[in-house]
Amino acid sequence: MTPEKHNKHSQITTEQTGKQSAHERGLGIFNTILPDMPDKLATALGPVAPDMIRFIIDVAGGEVMTRPGLDLQSREVATIAALAALGNAAPQLAVHMRGGLTSGLAPQQIVDILYLVAVFAGFPAALNGISVAREVFADKAVNFTPEPEELTDEERESRGYASLQATSGAAGKAVLENMRRRVPAMADLLIRFSYGDVIARSNLSPIHKEVAMIACCCARGGMIPQMKVHMHAALNVGMTQEAILELLVHLAIYAGFPASLNGIAAAGEVFEQV
């Protein structure tokens, strides 16, 4: 789906999965990125809800995560963003941060996903996600020394406009100018913070940034206009319609089927406009 490079765990191919049962495919995907997951599920869920083990391994793993339309690393980007945006799933967020690291995401890329969450789900959700990331990095003994960015307001604004132009073009600029006429302070925040400080960061690929932002919008619900903006942007930076739909299928597991169905309906409207 993306032009970027992934490590050996980032793609499960149809050749690997096509002749296996959903259960075998699910075990395969979890053994690849989270080898202790099946045993932990058996311990935690077996005495209470054994069918949930099957739902997780066979459905989430075997019927969704191994589908060929979206690579594993992109799925982990989406899952981290969605779970952090929901704000109520810290244990599952930790699991998928571990999976993200195994799939080849760098620690800074995981942190950058959480910066995007700050824009779409608020600072508290991002701060809670950062706390989870700190624990995951410590548990896995990740060697990570972040380098803070220091930008002037002029640099933030310039970088913000460049990022807006790259993703949304004239349509994005028109929306911003309309906002500036009505609420100048919000226009400044959008261009300097949302785009200049966060979306313009280069650690995540343009596609992965849009994957994360669509996932946040879908998971939060009630953000259809913003989700459509970033579906358009995803197409502009090279994501295919098929990959966007696959992303929304994936999000049914983590954000719920109603949220996924609403996203699919929104995607249909976006695709009719291109």
Averaged confidence pLDDT in the chain: 93
Q: Is the pLDDT of residue 150 over 70?
A: yes
Together in a domain, 98 and 211: yes
pLDDT digits over 64-77, tens only? 999 999 999 999 99
Residue 69 in tokens: 């339309």
Q: Is residue 205 part of a domain?
A: yes
Together in a domain, 208 and 261: yes
Together in a domain, 116 and 224: yes
Q: What is the CATH number of the domain that holds 86?
A: 1.20.1290.10
Contacting residues for 205 by C-beta, under 8 A, at least 6 apart: 2, 3, 4
Together in a domain, 76 and 183: no
Together in a domain, 143 and 206: yes
Q: Is residue 8 part of a domain?
A: no
Q: Is residue 16 part of a domain?
A: no
pLDDT of residue 18: 54
The parent domain of residue 188 ranges over 153-197
Number of domains into which the chain is organized = 2
Together in a domain, 72 and 114: yes
Together in a domain, 260 and 206: yes
Together in a domain, 81 and 129: yes
Together in a domain, 176 and 251: no
Together in a domain, 158 and 78: no
Together in a domain, 252 and 157: no
User: 0.95 exceeded by the pTM?
Assistant: no
How far apart are alpha carbons 58 and 84 in whole angstroms? 24
Q: Which of 6-15, 39-48, 85-94, 244-253 has the lowest mean pLDDT?
A: 6-15
